[in-house]
């Protein structure tokens, strides 16, 4: 149990970066961007190809992020300059990326990375000498864990990376450009009347969003030890699920809080998924339908609860009125 929860958190926090990207497009820009399914794989593919060709894993990861950024830019250009509707722009880009990703991967739908040096392995040697793993694992065992993870380095690196990404995102959304970006999603007419070039803001915003998605894809590939051409299918639903679950549970009062909520949402999503897969008749092939059900649940439940609360409140008022009538 401890081990599977540990894995869920570990994976969840890598996907959290992708969820932040989806938050930027869907929520901040109010742009339902489906590029994500493609740009996630682009990130993994670029990182994998670079690493296999001897580029340092850190540089490879940065290049992957840039590739995602450019993909997002193109979706933005399709929408703003080509005047193509947002959904369709994303779908077109996603479809095109499928072939482009295959090209990047040199025509093979899967690139293994198991024997390569990844960002996680890079710091792994140094890490294993510190003895932190043994210490943490002995604590975990003392708490009753049967199986323990072989290393905590991935979790450790990912916490740091995700916090940095969150802080950069928070900062960016508070800058003058960031404010204009948020207003573009909130009231485009207004921010244009305040001399903001909304076309460019959308292009940059979608770039930022897909850059994060690709970064997440690059890290997932390095953690999994391979990149697969089809690994991006349904990514947008996972991202949305994380955003919606996070917002529903932790609220969205301020930007700082919402970005944290999205990260936690991504982790909770993984935990719920892990628990669901423990159910007898479900297997990993059912993951996508579980994801879809989770999104539906997170969307419907808050409204359902609100309706019931409202009904109760009105019923109470009616009863009070009846009581008064009887008393009089």
Partner 1 sequence: MLDLKDISVTFNEGTPDEKKALQDINLTLEQGDFVTVIGSNGAGKSTLMNVISGSQKPDIGTVEIGNKNVTSLPEFKRSRYIGRVFQDPMAGTAPSMTIEENLAMAYARNKKRGLRIGVTKKRKELFKEYLNTLHLGLEDRLNAKVGLLSGGERQALSLLMATFTEPNILLLDEHTAALDPSRAELITKLTGEVVDKFHLTTLMVTHNMQQALDLGNRLIMMDKGQIILDVSGNEKQSLTIEKLLHEFKRIRGQQMENDRAILG
Q: Which residues bind partner 1 (CB under 8 A)?
A: 171-172, 174-180, 182-183, 186-187, 189-198
CA atoms within 13 A on the CB side of 237: 15
Give least dist CB 111 to partner 1, A: 36
Nearer to partner 1, 59 or 175 (CB): 175
Cβ-defined contacts of 54-62 (< 8 Å, 24+): 57/117, 57/118, 57/119, 57/121, 57/122, 57/222, 58/119, 58/122, 60/218, 61/119, 61/215, 61/218, 61/219, 61/222
- The Cα–Cα gap between 239 and 295 comes to 10
CA distances, 23 to each of 3, 30, 107, 185, 188 (Å)? 29, 9, 32, 12, 18
Compute the chain's Rg from CA coordinates.
22
Give least dist CB 67 to partner 1, A: 23
Nearer to partner 1, 158 or 261 (CB): 261
The token duo for 227 is 């990149």
Give least dist CB 74 to partner 1, A: 22
**Who's near 256: CB < 8 A, 6+ residues apart?**
170
Nearer to partner 1, 186 or 310 (CB): 186
Q: Which residue has the tokens 């628990």?
A: 275
Nearer to partner 1, 194 or 308 (CB): 194
Nearest to 217 by CA among 95, 113, 76: 113
Give least dist CB 302 to partner 1, A: 17
Alpha helical stretches, state H, 34-152: 36-52, 57-80, 86-104, 119-130, 132-142
Nearer to partner 1, 197 or 274 (CB): 197
Give least dist CB 185 to partner 1, A: 9
- The Cα–Cα gap between 241 and 295 comes to 5
- The Cα–Cα gap between 312 and 316 comes to 6
Strands 226-228 and 110-112: antiparallel
Give least dist CB 247 to partner 1, A: 13
Give least dist CB 186 to partner 1, A: 4
Nearer to partner 1, 192 or 257 (CB): 192
Nearer to partner 1, 121 or 252 (CB): 252
Give least dist CB 23 to partner 1, A: 14
Nearer to partner 1, 129 or 193 (CB): 193
Dihedral pair phi/psi, residue 152, rounded to 5° = -100, 0
Nearer to partner 1, 42 or 198 (CB): 198
Give least dist CB 295 to partner 1, A: 22
């Amino acid at each position: 149990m401890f081990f599977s929860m540990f894995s869920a958190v570990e994976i969840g926090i890598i996907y959290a970066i992708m969820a932040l990207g989806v938050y930027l497009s869907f929520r901040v820009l109010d742009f339902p961007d489906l590029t994500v399914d493609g740009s996630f794989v682009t990130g993994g593919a670029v990182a994998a190809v670079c690493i296999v060709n001897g580029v340092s894993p850190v540089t490879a990861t940065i290049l992957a992020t840039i590739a995602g950024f450019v993909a997002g830019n193109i979706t933005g250009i399709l929408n703003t300059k080509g005047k193509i509707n947002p959904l369709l722009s994303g779908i077109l880009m996603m479809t095109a990326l499928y072939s482009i990703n295959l090209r990047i991967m040199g025509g093979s739908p899967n690139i293994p990375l198991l024997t390569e040096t990844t960002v996680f392995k890079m710091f792994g040697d140094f890490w294993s000498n510190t003895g932190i793993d043994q210490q943490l694992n002995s604590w975990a065992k003392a708490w009753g864990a049967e199986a323990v993870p072989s290393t905590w380095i991935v979790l450790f690196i990912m916490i740091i990376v995700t916090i940095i990404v969150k802080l950069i995102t928070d900062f960016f959304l508070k800058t003058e450009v960031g404010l204009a970006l948020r207003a573009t999603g909130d009231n485009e007419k207004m921010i244009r009347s305040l001399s903001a070039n909304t076309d460019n803001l959308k292009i940059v915003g979608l770039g930022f969003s897909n850059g994060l998605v690709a970064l997440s894809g690059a890290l997932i590939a390095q953690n999994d030890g391979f990149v697969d051409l089809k690994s991006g299918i349904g990514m947008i639903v996972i991202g949305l699920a994380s955003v919606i679950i996070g917002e529903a549970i932790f609220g969205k009062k301020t930007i700082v809080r919402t970005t944290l909520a999205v990260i936690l949402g991504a982790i909770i999503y993984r935990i719920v998924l892990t628990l669901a897969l423990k159910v007898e008749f479900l297997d990993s092939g059912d993951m996508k339908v579980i994801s879809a059900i989770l999104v539906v649940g997170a969307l419907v439940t808050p409204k359902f609860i609100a309706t019931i609360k409202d009904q109760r409140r009105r019923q109470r008022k009616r009863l009070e009125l009846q009581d008064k009538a009887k008393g009089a």
